[in-house]
Structure 1
């Protein structure tokens, strides 16, 4: 795993990317949608390798048309993890950036939204997340398993 640094180091750039992608998506997508910053770069104390995670929440009826439209704008990534309520893309930006698309209210939406809200509100959860990252920094597969279990527990 790359060097880990506090999210505070990346917050200004992450917010600039968020603003840019909001403008881009507002022009591309008619109707309601919400783009939010999540992930380690969204929390000042969270350790991160410096990537930016964006979460695009769309009305359930718009999920398929939005995913289709985004295929023309973003690069599809991790198609092996796509679900009926989750699609993932890479965004060309100053920092490595990904966007996860979910229908609002779906299991994946709730997982992204609530997890990062809870972590933002509780420094102890950020400490536990940081410890998990440090403990498994040399074993990416185990880190992904442990991170998933951590988020499931939240």
Structure 2
């Protein structure tokens, strides 16, 4: 088991802080990223009614040809997320010094990890799914982060497969 616990945050305040940080970060990124880059606010703070641990997740989608250059641009500005997988079409970065904690996921459009936006869209379109996700989060509040992430991954897979 990991040392880190999953803890829910006060949602509305977290949502406001995340949106302010997203506005700032996305404006800065748009100045340095390739023109084809798509920068999206994803994660719980982007989903109306969704409970959150209070961090900000940003998705950056780029054509595969732009992936290496975009990865280098992000690496020059942010720390790599060492706890995340890294491939030729996905990498993750973070900035723990920002409030809230900032996580960035870079994906090649159409690549195997290009699904984060689809999950967020599925939640926005279904209040029932948001309630199911909130129930999962409540059940794992103050629990080991690795256990929460495993349950979350299974939920995401179910939603994306359309099996619900």
TM over 0.5: yes
Aligned match for 2:155, one of 142, 150, 153: 150
Task: Give the CA deviation at 1:99.
Answer: 0.5
Q: Which runs of 4+ in 1 moved over 4 A?
A: none
Counterpart in 2 of 1:67? 71
CA RMSD of superposed structures (Å): 1.7
Which stretch has the larger CA shift, 80-89 or 99-108?
80-89
Report what 1:112 is aligned to. Answer: 116
Greater displacement, 43-52 / 95-104: 43-52
Residues 7 and 42, structure 1, Cα contact 8 Å, conserved in 2: no
Taking CA–CA contacts closer than 8 Å with sequence separation of 6 or more, which of the two structures ends up with the larger relative contact order?
2
Map of 1:77 onto structure 2: 81
Q: Unpaired runs of 5+ in structure 1?
A: none
Mapping 1:5-154, distance limit 5 Å? 5=9, 7-78=11-82, 80-91=84-95, 92-109=97-114, 111-137=115-141, 138-154=143-159
Q: Are the aligned partners of 2:11 and 2:51 in contact in 1 as well (CA < 8 Å)? A: yes
Normalization by structure 2: what TM-score? 0.84
Query: CA–CA distance in 1 between the matches of 2:84 and 2:19?
Result: 29
Out of 44-53 and 74-83, give the one that drifted further: 74-83
